[in-house]
Structure 1
């Protein structure tokens, strides 16, 4: 699941997980991230069809040991995803 993650998306996901460098999204996006966070792999794949950047960011923070750092760098504009 390799997809470009915009800085805003990275910041929203960081906020959801209580990590530095994030900021609060709107209520729809908060619920979307919560839904992706709770989804089993099959439903997460379905959500990726409509929201690939958010799914990629949640997967990065959940499963990649360097995911938090990577999202913080993206949110700060230090790297492109």
Structure 2
């Protein structure tokens, strides 16, 4: 699994309205692109933005994804 930093966790949580804080304009567009991407394009985006893809996959498909990202966001530690 790719590393998710506290900053990435906060950006993704904010995008989904679950806390965190807003990313800058370019990063927000990357998050939107990953959010909308089909699996093939998401895999391509993971080449450049692995932490964001991992965080978005977690929040979309893991029932505990919001909780996991919240822990990462508030702990200040990188999660693998």
* TM-score bracket for the superposition, by shorter chain length: over 0.9
CA RMSD of aligned residues (A): 1.1
Tell me: CA distance 1:30–1:9, structure 2 relative to 1, closer, same or farther (3 Å): same
Unaligned 5+ segments in structure 1 are none
Residue 78 of structure 1 deviates from its aligned partner by: 6.5
For 1:31, the equivalent position in structure 2 comes to 29
Q: Partners in 1 of 2:76 and 2:58 — Cα distance?
A: 17
Give the alignment's TM-score, normalised by structure 1.
0.93
Q: How many residues align?
A: 79
Moved over 2 A (4+): none
Give the alignment's TM-score, normalised by structure 2.
0.94
Unaligned 5+ segments in structure 2 are none
Tell me: CA distance 1:78–1:25, structure 2 relative to 1, closer, same or farther (3 Å): closer
For 1:41, the equivalent position in structure 2 comes to 39
